[in-house]
């Protein structure tokens, strides 16, 4: 963790940030002198961060058998994401490649492609259409795992938080399969994808979450390679394992999800390189979105978001944002409110489908998880 006063003091940092603020406990300093110098800035956030630190136990609360290992032990540096993945035989494999530091350094978005292998035993991930209809609403990872008949020792949620966060966002703004506006097609604009570009096949689970609906997702962001601009990817089957498929489900059973009415679900992705406000006219030639979603947006950190926020405001469609911690959402909300000049329709709240493994070496001592908090306009 870096010193909270790094770059703002008159002197350079003297070492590791080992002096936490005694009041909020969310930031730390390399020395007493830097802590004193930084107080004039930190005092405006200290009370707020202290309140956010009170939610630590709530954020670390997951139903999985590995929860302690993936949350508290990683935060305390007793475990790492690499060691967690290694123990389960999925370190630097397939869609798991990007889930640790060493994988992040070797992965390349230039090579993005569908990698439909979970590298898990077939009972630990959703490899086929659900045996029962989705409940009226899923409220937690326990609900989802129970519905999909997945045991709670499965790490599949580390990847499934992408489609489940889309599902949760849609539910929060009143979009569901019973919504007359959706009918049999759902159009999503997905802003700023990064690591999920190497995990695209998990979006196939949206077939189960929105039965009978064709889902079209426009993924737009600077991380998409320019040479892949405009490319369409269709997902019409569930991701597989490396095991013999004949022991799981037949290819025809695994291929698409059909409803009793005969309507099939499918997911289509289209890639767009660039910023949303620059590419919007290209994207909407065929249709307008039912929902705009920006996972882990980091809106306060990037001024390039502001023109896109102005555009979303003019579109007058639901927009949902997520971020790694509550403070990031607070700062993002402040930026957005300066643009839209009104309060949020969807206040900052915990995402029950946040990724259940902690982010390593976050800037704050606040617990951070991918897609941890959600808010919207």
37 domain residue, yes or no: no
Residue 239's pLDDT is 62
CATH no. for residue 215?
3.40.50
Residue 240's pLDDT is 59
Distance CA 264, CA 284 (A): 24
13 domain residue, yes or no: no
Residue 372 has pLDDT above 90, yes or no: yes
Count structural domains, the chain: 1
82 domain residue, yes or no: yes
87 domain residue, yes or no: yes
Instruction: Please give the residue range of the domain that contains residue 359.
Output: 63-241+263-376
* Closest to 194 (Cα-Cα) out of 84, 104, 134: 104
Residue 256's pLDDT is 38
- Residues 6 or more apart whose CB falls under 8 angstroms from that of 79 comprise 69, 70, 73
Residue 18's pLDDT is 87
Residue 8's pLDDT is 74
322 domain residue, yes or no: yes
235 domain residue, yes or no: yes
Residue 9 has pLDDT above 90, yes or no: no
136 domain residue, yes or no: yes
Would you state the structure tokens that stand for residue 304, as one six-digit string? 């390039």
pLDDT digits (tens, 9 = 90+) for 212-241: 899 999 999 999 999 999 999 998 766 655
Q: Is residue 337 very low, low, confident or very high in pLDDT (cuts 50, 70, 90)?
A: confident
For the segment 61-78, the average pLDDT, to the nearest whole number, is 94
Helix (H, G, I), strand (E, B) or coil at 65: coil
Residue 23 is given by DSSP the state T
Percent of the chain residues topping a pLDDT of 90 = 60
226 domain residue, yes or no: yes
């Amino acid at each position: 963790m870096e010193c909270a006063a790094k770059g703002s003091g008159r002197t350079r940092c003297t070492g590791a940030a080992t002096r936490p603020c005694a009041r909020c406990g969310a930031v730390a300093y390399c020395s007493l002198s830097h802590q004193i110098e930084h107080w004039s800035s930190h005092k405006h956030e200290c009370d707020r961060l202290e309140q956010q630190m009170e939610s630590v136990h709530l954020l670390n609360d997951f139903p999985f058998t590995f929860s302690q290992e993936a949350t508290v032990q990683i935060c305390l540096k007793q475990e790492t994401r690499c060691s967690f993945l290694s123990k389960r035989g999925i370190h630097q494999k397939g869609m798991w490649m990007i889930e640790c530091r060493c994988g992040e350094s070797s992965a390349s978005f230039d090579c993005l492609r569908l990698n439909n292998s979970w590298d898990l035993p077939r009972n630990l991930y959703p490899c086929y259409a659900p045996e029962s209809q989705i409940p009226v609403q899923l409220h937690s990872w326990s609900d989802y795992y129970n519905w999909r008949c997945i045991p709670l020792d499965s790490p599949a949620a580390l990847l499934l938080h992408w489609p489940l966060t889309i599902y949760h966002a849609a539910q929060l703004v009143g979009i569901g399969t019973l919504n007359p506006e959706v009918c049999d097609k759902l159009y999503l604009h997905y802003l700023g994808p990064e690591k999920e570009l190497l995990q695209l096949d998990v979006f196939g689970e949206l077939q189960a979450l929105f039965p009978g609906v064709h889902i079209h997702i426009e993924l737009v962001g600077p991380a998409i390679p320019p040479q892949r601009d405009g490319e369409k990817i269709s997902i019409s089957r569930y991701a597989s394992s490396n095991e013999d498929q004949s022991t799981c489900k037949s290819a025809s059973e695994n291929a698409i999800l059909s409803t009793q009415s005969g309507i099939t679900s499918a997911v289509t992705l289209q890639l767009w390189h660039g910023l949303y406000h620059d590419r919007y006219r290209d994207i909407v030639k065929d249709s307008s979105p039912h929902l705009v979603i920006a996972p882990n947006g980091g809106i306060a950190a990037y001024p390039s978001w502001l023109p896109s926020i102005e555009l979303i405001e003019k579109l007058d469609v639901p927009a949902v944002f997520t971020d790694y911690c509550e403070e990031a959402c607070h700062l993002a909300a402040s930026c957005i409110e300066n643009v839209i000049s009104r309060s949020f329709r969807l206040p900052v709240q915990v995402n029950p489908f946040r990724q259940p493994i902690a982010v390593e070496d976050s800037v704050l001592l606040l617990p951070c998880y991918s897609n941890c908090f959600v808010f919207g306009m």
